[in-house]
Structure formats: C-alpha cells, structure tokens
Structure 1
Amino acid sequence: MSVTHRRSVCTLVCAALSLAPLQASATPKSRRAAEARGQARAAPAVDPLAQAAAEREALASRAAEVEAIQGVETCARWLSGQAWDTQDPRIHIMAAKTWLKVQTSPASLDRVEFHAREAVALADAPPVPRIGAGEVALVHADAEGLQQSVAERRAEIRRARADRRAADRQIRRGRRELIAGGAMLVVGALGGGLALGGATSRRSFDETIAPVLAADLPVDLSPLRALDVEGTRMLAIGGVLAAVGVAAGVPLLVLGARDLRLGKQRRGSLSLQLQPGPGSLGVVGRFGRR
C-alpha cells in the first residue's frame, strides 16, 4: 500500500471518530425537543374565558369572607384593587355593587359610577377578553342599573339634606319662640307687679284720706289725690302689661315647645336610612346625638 493511500485512510478514520461524539450528543437533544413538541400538541388549549370565570367565582367567595370579617367598606376597597389588577368588567360590577352597600356618601357613590363606567369600557374594548360576547349586554344592563341607583341615592341625599335643614330651622324657630314667650311672661310678671304697686298705692291713699275726710279738716288734698292718680295709672298700665304678657307669652311657649319637639323628632327620623343590599333592603339607624 502506498504512503498516500495510507494517509487517506487515516484521515477518514480520524474524521469518523471526531464526528461520532457530536452525533451522539446531538441525538438526545433532538429527541427531547421532539418529545416536547409532541406534548405541546397533545396538551389541550386553556380557555381564557373559562379561566376568568373560575377566577371570578373564587374572588366572589373570598369577597364574602372579607365582608363578613372586615366589613363592607374594606371589602369594597379590596374589590376595587382586584378589578383594577384584572381589568375584568364583571369584577368592576362586583366592586360597584359592594360600594353601593357602603354607608351612603358622595364619595362612595362616585366610586360606584367609576366602576360602572370602567365595566362598560372594558366590556366594549377589552385589552384581554375576560367575558364572552353574550355577556356584554349583561354588563351594560348592570352598569345602567347601578347608574340609576346612584341617581336615586343622590336624590335621596338631597332630600335628606333639605329635610335636615328644615328640621334645624324648625328647632331654631322653636327656641326663639320659647325665648320670646319667656320674655313676654317676664313682661307680664312686671306688669303684674306694677299693677300690684298701683293697687297698694290706692289702698294707702284710701286709708290715709278717710280720717281726713271724716274729720272735715281744712287740709290740701291735692298731693294725696296726685298719689291716687299715680296709683290708678300704675294699676291700669300694670294690668295691661300683665294681660299682654300672659296672652302673648303662653301661646309662644306652647308653639316653641311644639316646634322644638317636632324638629327634634324630624331630625331624629332622618338618621334612619334605607340601604339596598344584594336582593334586599337594609335599615340602618343612628340614634346618637349629632
């Protein structure tokens, strides 16, 4: 065998030996990649709508627990965060309904309107589909119902404030009437005292002038008669003041007491508020003094 032929054979043998490990190392990788592709084809595709529905169901159960343990307002704040994170219109509706159960205030009603608007916007143009096409109309209906509830609640707040102002005015009027009635009674008492002084002055005049008249003494009676006139005048003025004071003071006291009582009753009744819950109405009463 020639030297050239032996060199060619050695070269081929070396090349074969160097390629064998590469093929051996590449074969398991190719096999694993093929297996992964096969498993990906065999695994069923996850339905995003079904997954979103399952998340909402779990969230509703959790919300009931949070509301029972920490209260409605804490649950509403937590649901607001969940709605913001998930961008789910149904969760926005849940948050809006929970905020509607919170004690009525302009701030809570603003949050209800915000979540209702967000729910409609996400249902119409969602960044990631979370509901089916058939649920879009339901979201619109729920949002419209919430907006209507907010409008009714705002009207109730305006009526309650107007009634509260009217009750406060009635209470103030009753207090003024009581003060005026008391003042008139004081005037009547002063008039009675003046009349009593006039009667006493006249009685003193009669007791003083009687012996003089009986003795037929030449005495100037004009000063005594001036006292008699003054006593008569005091008696008349005092009688008028007493009559006017009593006639005006007693009705004012009666009206003031009535207005004060009715105003307080009316203001106390405003502490009772109807709060709609899920499928029911709750009555909340505050009987403390404001």
Structure 2
Amino acid sequence: MLAFVCAASCLGPLPASAAFKTPRRPAAAEAAKPVDPLVAAAAERDALIGRVGELEAIQGVEHCARWLSGQAWDTQDPWIHIMSSRTWLKVQTSTATLDRAAFHAHEAVALADAPPVPRIAAGEVAQIHAEADSLLRSVAERRAEIRRVRADRRAAERQIRRGRRELIAGGAMMVVAALGGGLALGGATYKRRFDETIAPVLEAELPVDLAPLRALDIQGDQMLAAGAVLAAVGVAAGVPLLALGGRDVRLGRQQRGRLLLQLQPGLGTLSLIGRFGPR
C-alpha cells in the first residue's frame, strides 16, 4: 500500500512553478529590427530641413549654402543636392554661385540614376529630374541676364568715354573761340590805334608817309576777320560738343547706376533689385 502511494505521487502533475516555461526574446533582440534605409534617409532630410531655416536666419544664406554643400557630399543624397542648388540660387547672383547651383543639380541627377547607396524610391527619380531641369533653366536664365547686364554696362562705359572725349573736344573748340576772340580784339585795337594816329595827320594835312599806318590798318583788318572766323567756328563747334558730351556722360552714368543689380530669386520668380546712382 505504501509503495502504491509513492508511485502515485511520483506520477502526479508537476506544480505550476515547476512547469515548462517558454523562453522570452530579450529586449535588445526586439529593438534590433531592420530599419528601412529609405525611411531613415527621409527622416535625416526632415531633420536637415529644420536646421536649414535656423542656420539661414542666424548666419546668412551663403553660409547655409556652403554647409548644405558639405551635407550633400557626406550623404550622397539627391534631394539634399537639390536643396543645396536651390540655396545657392538664393545667394547674390554671380558666375561662381551659378556654377555651384548647376553642379549640385547635375550631381542630383547622377545620384538618382546610379546611386551608390539607395536613398530615394524609384518613383522619386522622375521628380529629381524635373527639379534639376527647373533649377538648370533658372541658372541658364540668370547667366543670360548677367551677360546682358555686362553688355549694357560696357555700352554705358563706352558712352561715358565718348562723352568725355566730346567734352574735351568741345573745351578745345571753346579755347579756339577764345583765341579767335582775342585775335579779333587785337585787330580792333590795331584799327583804333590807326584811326587815332591818322586823324590828326589828315586834319593837319602834313606831308607824312602813311604807308606804315596803312599796313597797320590792313593788319588790323586781317586780325579782326581771322579772329571773328575762329571765334564763330569755335563757338559753333564747341557748344554742341559740350552739350552732347555732358548728355552722354550723364546718361552713361545713369545707365551704369541702374545696372548695379542684385538678382534676387523668389518662389518661382526672379526679381531685379537695383541700387541707383553712379559708383
């Protein structure tokens, strides 16, 4: 009987504490789930966009553009290259900034077509191409505007130089007119002296040789005629030259002042903000 009780107790169910327990997965294993690289890249871009606004407000657009260029190189992300290209277009327009904007647009297309590490979905490749084409069109338009402004500035400089030459020529002609006036005044003086000298002789009917006095009278007539011609020619040529030269210099400086432009991009637009007045 005692042996039967012992056997029954050995064959009975185990207590709950001794029951078989299913091993649980550690917390570290649950945390180490695979992360989608596209989702991680998108989260990285979102964080970058938040910092761009702060950096641009604190340190300026150009510093922000340089910082974005470094981020684009580090991440090899097409969208960050697009962001960098847009930011370079916000900087005051110059050949160097346009070169950098175009470079980042081309780099974005290259990374979208053959990425070393996928950071965008397949459906975003066409969007990258469209954004890059739009940026490259903006770059081409601004290059054309820079060429036009430079050509107009060269034309304004030529007009200023022409006006200065006209002023110099007009001044020289006015000097000629002044010399002609002096010569005419000298001739008039000779004739007055002749009249003052010959009047008493004629009144007294003295037997005096008047040939030297007649020569003085003829010389006075010649000087008077030559001086009058020179003065007339000098004034006729000098006054218009001075007027044209002054006008050309004034218009050239006004045009040059209008061409001191800053190309300022907006949302889908391009504004021209000018500083008026000569340098």
TM-score by length of structure 2 reads: 0.87
C-alpha separation in 2, matches of 1:264 and 1:287: 10
Partner residue in 1 for 2:4: none
1:264 is aligned, of 232, 253, 266, to 253
Alignment deviations for residues 231-272 of structure 1 (CA, whole Å, 9 cap, x no partner): 000000000011011111111111011000000000000012
Match in the other structure for 2:57? 68
Per the TM alignment, residue 121 of structure 1 is displaced from its structure 2 partner at its CA by 0.8
- The reply on whether 1:35 has 2:18 as its aligned counterpart is no
Alpha carbons 2:256, 2:278 under 8 Å: kept: no
Q: Which residue of 1 aligns with 2:142?
A: 153
Give the match's secondary structure for 1:274: strand
| CA distance 1:104–1:142, shift in 2 (3 Å) | same
**Aligned equivalents of 1:274, 1:42: Cα separation in 2:** 51
Q: Which residue of 2 aligns with 1:192?
A: 181
Is the CA contact 2:257–2:276 (under 8 Å) kept in the aligned structure 1? yes
Higher mean alpha-carbon deviation, 86-95 vs 201-210, is at 201-210
Write the distance in 1 (CA, Å) between the matches of 2:260 and 2:69.
28
Is 1:251 matched with 2:235? no
Residue number in structure 2 paired with 1:19: none
Show the 5 A alignment for 1:164-183: 164-183=153-172
Q: Please report how far the alpha carbon of residue 171 of structure 1 lies from its aligned counterpart in structure 2 after TM superposition.
A: 0.6
- Within a 5 Å distance, the mapping from 1:1-290 to structure 2 comes to 35-36=25-26, 40=29, 44-286=33-275, 290=279
1:12 corresponds in structure 2 to none
State the distance in 1 between where 2:41 and 2:31 align.
23
Deviations 1:56-81 (A, max 9, x none): 11111111111111111100000000
> Alpha-carbon deviations, 1:162-202, whole Å to 9, x = none?
11111001111111111111111111011101101101110
- Structure 1: tracts of 5 or more residues without a match: 1-30
Q: Secondary structure at the match of 1:243?
A: helix
Distance change in 2, residues 1:288/1:45 (3 Å)? farther
Q: Distance in 1 between matches of 2:272 and 2:137?
A: 20
Secondary structure of 1:198 counterpart:
helix
Counterpart CA distance in 2 for 1:109 and 1:74 is 16
**What is the alpha-carbon distance in structure 2 between the residues aligned to residue 61 and residue 189 of structure 1?**
75
Aligned mates of 1:205, 1:114 — CA distance in 2: 88
Offset of residue 284 of structure 1 = 3.6
| Secondary structure in structure 2 of the residue aligned to 1:127 | coil
Moved more, 203-212 or 273-282: 273-282
C-alpha separation between the residues in 2 aligned to 1:222 and 1:56? Answer: 108
**What is the deviation of 1:278?**
3.6
Provide the aligned length of Structure 1 versus Structure 2: 257
Greater helix share, structure number: 1
- 2:13 is matched with which residue? none
Say which SS state the counterpart of residue 264 (structure 2) adopts.
strand
Coordinate RMSD, CA, aligned: 1.9
Displacement of 1:277: 2.9
Q: How many percent identity over aligned positions?
A: 75
Opposite residue 170 of structure 2, the aligned amino acid is: G
Q: How far apart, in 2, do the equivalents of 1:104 and 1:220 lie? A: 87
